[in-house]
Amino acid sequence: MCGIAGLMLRGATARPPAVDELAVMAGALSHRGPDEFGVYRDHQAGLAHARLSIIDLASGQQPLTNERGTLWVTFNGEIFNYLELRAELVAAGHQFKTRSDTEVIVHAYEEWGVEAFRRFNGQWAVGLWDTERRELVLARDPFGVRPLYVTEHAGRLAFASEVKALFAGDPALPRRFDPRGLDALFTFWSPVAPATVFAGIEEVEPGTVRVYSASNVRRFRSYDPAYPGGDLAPFAGSLDDAVDIVRAALSEATSLRMLRAEVPVGSYLSGGLDSSFIAALGLRAKGANFSTFSLRFADAEYDETSYQRLMAERLGSDHHEVLVGRDDIARVFPDVIRHTERPILRTAPAPMYLLSRLVRDNGIKVVLTGEGADEMFAGYDLFREAKVRRFWAAQPASERRPRLLERLYPYLERSPVAQRAVSRQFFGRALERFREPGFGHEPRWNSTGGLKRLFSADLQGRLGGVDARGELLAALPSRFGTWSPLAQDQFLEVHTLLSGYLLSSQGDRMLMAHSVEGRFPFLDRQVAALAESLPAKYKLHVLDEKHVLKKAAADVVPPEILARPKQPYRAPDALAFASPAARDWIAHVTSPTAVHDAGVFDPVAVRHLIAKCEARAGSGQFSNADNMAVVGVLSTQLVHQQFIASRPVAEPPPTIRTLVDHAAVDASHV
């Protein structure tokens, strides 16, 4: 992986990009790419790159150009089918100077224009400058694995992998929260692109291409989900057929991600089905000398050590572990937020930050993960919960149907289904709307939205009639209503939580904090298309989640793991902040002055929340709402402290390669 950034003039009086500005932007991204830095500049645009060397170690420097020098690209990610595309482009007459997947992008764009991005199988954020058309092309992969932000200020457009690089490149860029982005985050756990929590800064939507000229911007879709419905027929084979095809597709996807790298590739190992299956396929592709990495927790409620070690022993891998306690989470939490660049409602990214550090400390730059399996193959309790609620809605007076809810959330000590009367009241709301979009997600959205009670009167006033939920549902694809209820739930899960939180705050940002690239076989283009095409009953068979996937993994994953109850990855939340390691920074960011200055929360409400949690720290009796509230408040206050209230000076990298500086060349002839 890498960090990318750039500038483009769009106003007649705007000043040209300076090499120093581009260097500072690259420096702000040095954690994403510490191996090499480069810039390109002319009178209208500039590109910057911070490189993490994975493919073509000797000659993959960026920004990189085509043979005519008319297209320049800065690229973060991997195009896993680049060898196949390269052969096709060579046959069409294109000449290559490197063996990198980066160079495939410029030739593919020459040959196919924006349609090139539909041909890519991988994970990418691309900034491409067309010197002939004077157009800047920004593109992002289908699921948003790689981040990409854009803003305009003083007649100039700036883009970067992370917001901190935008602020570094333009110290005059306004810094303030966007109420709409905060409202979305405190509904869905994340803003939904293009919204961000920063006013005036957009996130390029996953699966899209933007083409900027001096006068306009054109937008294209490079990926659209295709669930059965309408004119699209479902997968026609039997369950056994699906098992064979899923196994083959995942094997191919994992092999691509194992073998198309010039550095060692390891694997995360959580102890669950998804990571165990991918690790087994990764070892099969490599053959030997395979490293695996696991998180252990000092709190038994979250620990999965026995399953991790069982799988590691089965693999015979070089296995590494990091033990995480509450103090560890509290200690690194400010650093975690510096990398997430947005508030979060769970501490789960913090242990992932420590895990990626373990990977890097062991000399590994690339890891496989099982992320995406739950979304592609219906693994979450949310999908089972929605199915039960729809079943219940068909006979709302039934006493037996809602009892199926008691099969859910067995891993939670304070499960929402533990008390029958309370669970029926909570999950039984608005059953009459079971045919409406968003029905399956309403309990989560309602629960998260309750945190807005902590918002300040000023923020609530500025929000006025903003309705994040209504805006999301109004923008659904036209074919959404033709999909099965499960497909609708899957789409919304991908569109909100996967793209905005799991692949961002908990994924890319924690990996790249220590210069580690994550690779996601379950988000392979072919695997995703196959999963989308499968009948709902193959994925969620009655209440058996990931049914087809369990069968596909049966020959390589131990039966103890296949049969274990679903236990999603979690970490201690509010309890972690009772640690002495957090006392000083919590007191600072939650002081009445700090809360007032941030303007997001009511200072009195925050004081009461902190006091309540201090009183309950001994018993550990925190509700789900309390956990989310504490983490949400602390992370929001840290975002304000780190990105709005303070303005740290970014440093350029110690050495940077100026690949082309047309502006300097032109000036020398004046």
Comparing CA positions, the residue from 645, 550, 628 lying closest to residue 243 is: 550
Per CATH, is 2-223+661-668 categorized as 3.60.20.10? Answer: yes
Say whether pLDDT at 322 is over 90.
yes
Name the average pLDDT for the chain: 92
Hey, what are 44's tokens?
């209208």
| Confidence category of residue 232, pLDDT binned at 50, 70, 90 | confident
Does the pLDDT value for residue 333 go beyond 70?
Answer: yes
Q: How confident is the model at residue 309 (pLDDT cuts 50, 70, 90)?
A: very high
83 Cβ neighbours under 8 A, 6+ residues apart: 260
Residues 6+ positions from 268 with CB-CB distance below 8 Å: 275, 279, 292, 293, 294, 355, 367, 368, 369, 370
Q: Does the structure show a pLDDT above 90 at 576?
A: yes
What is the helix, strand, coil percentage profile of the chain, to 5? 50, 15, 35
Is the model's pLDDT at 399 over the cut of 90? no
The Cα–Cα gap between 522 and 415 comes to 29
Percentage of the chain surpassing pLDDT 90?
79
Query: Is the confidence at residue 306, as pLDDT, over 70?
Result: yes
In this predicted structure, the answer to whether residue 666 has a pLDDT above a threshold of 50 is no
Q: Which two tokens stand for residue 537?
A: 């009953």
CA–CA distances in Å: residue 557 to residues 7, 11, 46, 183, 552: 48, 58, 49, 42, 10
Pairing relationship of beta strands 366-368 and 517-519 according to DSSP bridges: parallel
Query: What confidence score (pLDDT) does residue 96 get?
Result: 92
Report the pLDDT value the prediction gives residue 482, as an integer from 0 to 100. Answer: 94
Spatial separation of the C-alpha atoms in residues 257 and 327, rounded to whole Å: 35
The pLDDT, as a whole number, for residue 36 is 86
Write down the domain spans for the chain: 2-223+661-668, 226-334+364-434+487-567, 574-645
Q: Among 37-51, 113-127, 640-654, name the one with the lowest average pLDDT.
A: 640-654
pLDDT at 669: 27
Q: Which of 602 and 411 is assigned the larger pLDDT?
A: 602
User: What is the pLDDT, as a whole number, of residue 233?
Assistant: 84
Query: 373 near 552, Cβ under 8 Å?
Result: no
pLDDT band at 57 (very low <50, low <70, confident <90, very high): low
Q: Are 595 and 604 in contact (CB under 8 A)?
A: no
Do the Cβ atoms of 73 and 63 come closer than 8 Å? Answer: yes
Dihedral sign for Cα 492, 494, 496, 501, please: positive
Torsional sign, CA 180, 643, 142, 545: negative
Q: 231 vs 288, which has greater pLDDT?
A: 288
pLDDT at 667: 36
Using the 8-state DSSP alphabet, how is residue 61 labeled?
-
Sorted by sequence, the CB contacts under 8 Å of residue 359 that are 6+ apart come out as: 266, 293, 320, 367, 514, 516
Average pLDDT for residues 314-321, to the nearest whole number?
96
Q: How far is CA 92 from the centre of its chain?
A: 36
Of 29, 124, 145, the residue nearest 109 (C-alpha)? 124
Q: How far apart are CA 191 and CA 199, in angstroms?
A: 12
Q: The tokens of 596 are what?
A: 């007032």
668 pLDDT band, cuts 50/70/90, is very low
User: Left if phi > 0, otherwise alpha if psi is -120 to 50, otherwise beta: which for 287?
Assistant: left
What average pLDDT does this structure show over 402-421? 71
HEC sequence for 174-211: CCCECHHHHHHHHHHCCCCCCCCCECCEEECCCCEEEE
CATH class of the domain defined by 226-334+364-434+487-567: alpha beta
Q: Are 190 and 505 in contact (CB under 8 A)?
A: yes
Structure tokens, 411: 């891993």
Q: Which residue has the tokens 């008319």?
A: 70
Check whether 418 has a pLDDT greater than 80: no
Please answer whether residues 472 and 496 qualify as being in contact, where contact means their C-beta atoms are separated by less than 8 angstroms.
Answer: yes
On the question of pLDDT at 136 being above 80, the answer is yes
Single-letter residue type at 405: L
Once rounded to an integer, what is the mean pLDDT over residues 241-263? 95
Q: Work out the average pLDDT over 342-369.
A: 97
610: tokens are 């902190």
Closest by CA to 84, choosing from 256, 231, 207, is 256
- Lowest-pLDDT range of 346-350, 433-437, 597-601: 433-437
Residue 265 has pLDDT above 90, yes or no: yes
Q: What pLDDT does residue 411 have?
A: 61
First vs last Cα of the chain: how many Å apart? Answer: 40
For residue 56, the model assigns a pLDDT of 60
Q: Is the dihedral of CA 496, 501, 502, 503 positive or negative?
A: positive
Instruction: Check residue 55 and give its pLDDT.
Output: 62
Write down the pLDDT at residue 654: 73
Mean pLDDT of 628-646: 97
Which residue shows structure tokens 């929260």? 177
Q: Which residue has the tokens 């490149």?
A: 169
